[in-house]
Amino acid sequence: MPRQTRRIIVDHDANGKAIVTEDGPAPNVKLRQATGITSTVLWVTDSSPPDISSAEDMSLRDVGVSPPANGNILRIVDFPPVSEMQGVDNAAMLKEMGLSADSHGGAASRSAFMHRTKSIDYAIVLEGEIDMLMDDTEVHLNTGDVLIQKATNHAWVNNSKANCRIAFVLIDAVEPPAWKKSSGGH
């Protein structure tokens, strides 16, 4: 059963006074079948600067892993230990994440979890530990660590025995020149 995330939205009433408009479990929770990873979308915008005048629940949009053009996404992702996952298929994973089949740059993947997004990502480890694999290297992150990622090819692999929970903010970005060098584009 996916873990719930409490989400509180604060806005203004008709008189401009700050009020809580929502307080409860975030409604947009997806258990990704290809990996067993749970993704909870907390908010999405599709412009910069964002228009915050709407009362629409922006988290209810059906979005993939990448942010909308000129927008951003805030999500919480729960990564189970890799030992609990059965034969992850990269193509199925990419499709379920809303990414193209070549979104790992066309390079030989060192992990079935490899992918990339045209975004700058802020990853904040809330609990647990995880490894971020890149093309030839990797970095180990623990609770409290913050990673800033600039559209790199990567895979999140939880080699521990416990869940790892990460808060991600992905912000749409200009396609980096390195993508053209690695695969002829996106």
pLDDT tens per residue, the chain (186 residues)?
668 999 999 999 999 999 999 999 999 999 888 888 899 999 999 999 998 998 899 999 888 888 999 999 999 999 999 888 777 666 666 667 666 666 655 555 667 778 888 999 999 999 999 999 998 999 999 999 999 999 988 889 999 999 999 999 999 999 888 777 665 444
**Residue at 62 is within a domain:** yes
Print the domain residue range for 105: 31-183
**Residue at 148 is within a domain:** yes
**Residue at 68 is within a domain:** yes
**Residue at 18 is within a domain:** no
> Residue 137 belongs to a domain with what CATH number?
2.60.120.10
What is the tally of structural domains in the chain? 1
Burial class (CB in 10 A: 0-12, 13-18, 19+), 101: exposed
Q: What is the pLDDT of residues 77-120, one digit of tens each?
A: 999 998 887 776 666 666 676 666 666 555 556 677 788 889 99
**Residue at 17 is within a domain:** no
**Residue at 116 is within a domain:** yes
**Residue at 19 is within a domain:** no
**Residue at 6 is within a domain:** no
